[in-house]
A and B are shown apart, each in its own frame.
Chain A
């Protein structure tokens, strides 16, 4: 039987490559536009899309590729991202990068010039912490400082030993359980693989129950069924992601973080 010639194979391969690239560019634009038009959203995928808008030269194409760091637990990353004092410019720029909305109000003294932020932009591989960066809610825009920005409490330990690794991931400061108001709060986490909605019940200032109310991801919900109990056990959204269902886990964590923010006293 006849076989395709090498020239024809090369031609077809090139043609498919061109069609793929054209499609990528064409489809990338509406995706970014829709990301920037959203008033409230909650994952780094969208955040990264916006970052790309802000700093197109410094941030290459976003990929869902999770870096080896993403396999680390939240706690591990938290250890790496020890709170920095406000005087550390590198950390500030990372924080700014992790903040999806450019209009977001930032504490005095922390607001770094936008250009400086762009120069310091890291490679856009998703780290666990960046994927779990808290949602900038509407109330944040109105004036409340988002929890992604750490409290101004200076940490002498952090200033004494600044680690270069620590700047790789933005800091996620989670409120402690005792600060929660009783009640039931809902939250949702979205990335391009779908949305997870949760309902978090707070009783006596503690997380009493977490229920996945809706899971519209491309993966079955039973993959993340173990996560609600982890949140109750640890009294925090700092939980391990389920390997093999990283994207659904990220949605879940973002949803719990959003609900816990609403529950803050």
Chain B
């Protein structure tokens, strides 16, 4: 981050790999390589390729339509990779590509002041769950690897949170999430042991470090980050206890995205600046 800041101060454009987006891309590729190698099948890699290509094509097409100056689809690559790593690699290619397309379409269609209000990957994955009954098994979070692999995710995630300056959000999410689970355990209300183990613990780290920290769809101020993480954790757990499934983390994130937009819209209205919502 320092080198990126130095480059900006010097008037140079920071090298892509020094940016938070660049590092997220590197981490996702590493996760894909590890999980793909361990799965002993090419299906995950093929699905990742399909997902990225679908996302990039849609993104570039929209970019050309909007006559964007910068066409490099870094965001689309990240979205495609996240979709592929969360969606089970048993899913057929057309569901994977459709999921990526939903994600990128949501990114460009559902906007407030040029910012998407839903995390694109989460939106695509949840849409796919409702439309195709697809399943998320978070295999890219190294859920099937031995426990030491969580360290890779943790270290990579820490660097991302550092680069994106999203530590309050991550800590708020993880702290709230695990505190609620601890309280549930102390009160003997429900058995939540599974949420402490793979694949759920991997999924929680993957979501908190890689998806929740998405800058356009989350607040930048520390106070905003804290309530964002807090609300996302509560909503995720409420959904999990109510409906179960593997999508509860995505639901929590998308609900808070929506809440964030509503608050943003109210604040904008107060400032007498009309929010332009393009659907």
Contacts and interface: CB of A to CB of B under 8 A. Distances in A.
A23 B90 contact: no
A27 B135 contact: no
A2 B196 CA distance: 33
Interface stretch (B7-15, B115-123, B182-190, B264-272): B182-190
A151 interface: no
Interface stretch (A74-82, A138-146, A205-213, A237-245): A237-245
A27 B196 contact: yes
A71 interface: yes
Given A1-B165, A4-B168, A243-B90, A23 B139 contact: no
Nearest to B44: A244
B245 interface: yes
Interface stretch (A88-96, A101-109, A214-222, A250-258): A214-222
B196 A24 contact: yes
Given A23-B181, A65-B144, A65-B198, A222 B88 contact: no
A125 B144 CA distance: 11
Contact of A193 (B38, B179, B194): B194
Contacts of A71: 40
A30 B88 CA distance: 31
Contacts, number: 107
A158 interface: no
B246 A218 contact: yes
B157 to A, nearest CB: 11
Interface residues on B, range: 35 or more
B244 A218 contact: yes
Nearest to B179: A19
B39 interface: yes
B88 A223 contact: yes
Contact of B191 (A2, A27, A223): A27
Contacts of A62: 197
B178 A16 contact: yes
A196 to B, nearest CB: 14
B133 interface: yes
A18 to B, nearest CB: 9
A165 interface: no
B182 A26 contact: yes
A242 B193 CA distance: 25
Interface string B120-160: 00000000000001110101000111110000000000000
B175 A15 contact: yes
A22 interface: yes
A64 B198 contact: yes
Interface of B is mostly: loop
B220 interface: yes
B197 A63 contact: yes
A20 to B, nearest CB: 5
Given A63-B198, A244-B88, A223 B193 contact: no
B102 interface: no
Nearest to A6: B162
Given A4-B167, A219-B137, A243-B39, A22 B182 contact: yes
A192 B167 contact: no
Contacts of A3: 165
B194 A223 contact: no
Interface in B22-59: 38-41, 43
Contacts of A13: 171
Contacts of B143: 64
A26 B186 contact: yes
A192 B199 CA distance: 11
B222 interface: yes
Contacts of B39: 243-244
Contacts of B81: none
User: Which interface residue of A1, A16, A244 has the most chain B CB atoms within 10 A?
Assistant: A244
Contacts of A15: 175
Question: Which are the 10 A-B pairs with shortest beta-carbon distances?
Answer: A23-B182, A244-B90, A26-B185, A27-B185, A31-B193, A192-B194, A12-B171, A220-B135, A19-B178, A4-B167
19 contacts: A9-B167, A12-B167, A12-B175, A16-B171, A19-B175, A19-B178, A23-B196, A24-B196, A27-B196, A63-B198, A65-B146, A125-B146, A193-B194, A219-B135, A220-B135, A243-B90, A244-B43, A244-B90, A244-B139
Given A15-B175, A31-B191, A244-B89, 5 more contacts: A12-B167, A16-B174, A28-B193, A220-B134, A242-B90
Interface of B: 38-41, 43, 88-90, 133-135, 137, 139, 143-147, 165, 167-168, 171, 174-175, 178-179, 181-182, 184-186, 188, 191-194, 196-199, 220, 222, 244-246
